[in-house]
Amino acid sequence: MNSPAMATLALTAVLGCGAAHAQTAPQPSTQPATQAATQMTRDNGAPVGDNQNSQTAGPNGPVLLQDVHLIQKLQRFDRERQPERVVHARGTGAHGVFVASKDISEYTRAAVFTPGQQTPVFVRFSSVIHGNHSPETLRDPRGFATKFYTSQGNWDLVGNNLPVFFIRDAMKFPDMVHSLKPAPDSNIQDPNRFFDFFSHQPESTHMLTRLYTDLGTPASYREMDGNSVHAYKFVNAKNQVSYVKFHWKSLQGEKNLDAKQVETIQGREFNHMTRDLIGAIKDGRYPQWDLYVQVLKPEQLTKFNFDALDATKIWPGVPETKVGTMTLNRNPDNVFLETEQSAMAPSNLVPGIEPSEDRMLQGRLFSYADTQLHRIGANGLQLPINRPRNVVANYNQDGATNSGSRKGDVNYQPSERAPLADNAEFKATELKLTGTTQQARTVKTLNFAQAGDFYRSLDKSQQTNLVSNLAGDLGQVKDDGIKYTMLSYFYKADANYGRAISTAVKADPDRVAQLASKLKE
């Protein structure tokens, strides 16, 4: 029988490359010693030069649309399933209101943050990897996506319960999800596959450490925090830019399940999180979250010993400021029309909020919106759950299920006959660029330090649960090279952490320590 940790696993992925690759920090080009490498190509047969790093405008600039390999990879990935979401398929939604409480106009002109402003919201909670009817007891990051129906258009704050992610570049996202999904030949999830992948991604050590604590199995959606994961930009009325991260703090407190509790629940209930949220709202016990922000000036980004826009990192020591409170007070009348047809995308932004140069976010700006176009059609934003509360005026037209009411013979701009005008007030801010276009990994990686900091912040019982949960899956890995590489990552993060997992999976601690000594942050 599978261990409780395996029974609760929602993420499965491993990169196998044999014992040889465990000796030093893996490089993107590493191949299993027993296999000859075959040239990777795009769908048109053209060879791929770099399948690990997106093209960027210099070391700190945004990702380039000309990266045709990245675009094709994401387009093909977005269309693998229809109509179910490829990720975040299992979801639960609720309506509510966000009330802004603090004047932060020095940072942003976004109308949603006007003190006292009440903005309708729709929230979709979800699990990430498993299918639409999967048990909610499974170990998985949890999606926390909020659609704000603001007076200036819809803003989607699309994040997770955990503050970091597995990878830092969208180029790797389809591969990561493939490794976590069931194997294509057996339809079975397998730790040998996902650890095979993650053994090549040392930056995943932080997220894996958080996920394998009891945070990976929340007790309820009400008792769960949310995070933007990515940094965004705040833009004020003077067009001055700050960088910001968002954090939803549950006023119900955080509550998670340990492996024994999971085993007890999943024997009798696989909808416990959905049932809890619906029941609480129905009974008038409306859940609430305070929204906090961390804000940095552009010049402060370089003060860290890691890339501050790396999605595998938190911003330690940066104070949080409360900016408002969200209350969920109404269940959907129809789950399909509201929860399942809701189309969340980080590209749905409003004046005063812009994307940062985070490489993962840059890929998601395209991928999420493109997924929704594929899933619910070109006119999905005309559906009631997605429709902005303000007037929409443009010349996007036709397509399946178009319910618009555009009239007249002018469907272009500029025009003297039926003018629709753009407004320079709402142009994107300018970003000064240096260097050349490139495909290269982030320079300041710091792959292990924050994972170690998090491990040391846990109490003894939480550390014990983490080691037990992680060992339950890592112990199933058959390839010693993969297993020892992963163990060396955890050891590099914290020696006690690495030794505890090594003991749990009956590995040689001296070999693990030797491998860890060769790793670089």
Question: Residue 363: its pLDDT value, please?
Answer: 95
Question: Residue 21: its pLDDT value, please?
Answer: 37
The amino acid at residue 483 is K
Tokens of 357: 């140069």
Query: Which range, 58-67, 308-317, 390-399, is most confident?
Result: 308-317
Q: Please check the confidence at residue 110 and state whether its pLDDT lies above 60.
A: yes
CA distances from residue 9 to 35, 156, 182, 200, 208 in whole angstroms, order as listed: 30, 28, 12, 20, 12
Give the model's confidence band at 377: pLDDT under 50 very low, under 70 low, under 90 confident, else very high: confident
430-456 CB burial, b ≥16 within 10 A, e <16: ebeeeeeeebeebeebbbbbbbbebbe
Between 425 and 494, name the one with better pLDDT: 494
Cα–Cα distance between 372 and 379 in angstroms, integer?
10
Tokens of 362: 């840059």
Query: Which range, 3-12, 29-38, 157-166, 410-419, is most confident?
Result: 157-166
Tens of pLDDT, residues 250-267: 999 999 999 999 999 988
520: exposed, middle or buried (Cβ count in 10 Å: 0-12, 13-18, 19+): exposed
Q: Which residues are annotated as a binding site?
A: 368
Cis peptide before 59 (omega within 30 of 0): no
Report the mean per-residue pLDDT for the chain: 89
Answer yes or no: are the C-beta atoms of 161 and 146 closer than 8 Å. no
491: exposed, middle or buried (Cβ count in 10 Å: 0-12, 13-18, 19+): buried
Give the model's confidence band at 35: pLDDT under 50 very low, under 70 low, under 90 confident, else very high: low
CA distances from residue 325 to 48, 159, 220, 406, 518 in whole angstroms, order as listed: 47, 17, 19, 38, 47
Q: Please check the confidence at residue 59 and state whether its pLDDT lies above 70.
A: yes
Tens of pLDDT, residues 328-360: 999 999 998 999 999 999 999 999 999 999 999
Q: Please check the confidence at residue 470 and state whether its pLDDT lies above 50.
A: yes
List active site positions: 88, 160
Q: Please check the confidence at residue 303 and state whether its pLDDT lies above 70.
A: yes
Segment 2-8 shows an average pLDDT of 40
Cα–Cα distance between 67 and 63 in angstroms, integer?
8
Length of the chain: 521
Q: Which residues are annotated as a binding site for heme?
A: 368
Question: Residue 25: its pLDDT value, please?
Answer: 40
Question: Residue 34: its pLDDT value, please?
Answer: 52
User: What is the model's pTM?
Assistant: 0.87
Domains, the chain, in order of start with CATH, read 4-23+63-387+442-517 (2.40.180.10)
Question: Residue 28: its pLDDT value, please?
Answer: 44
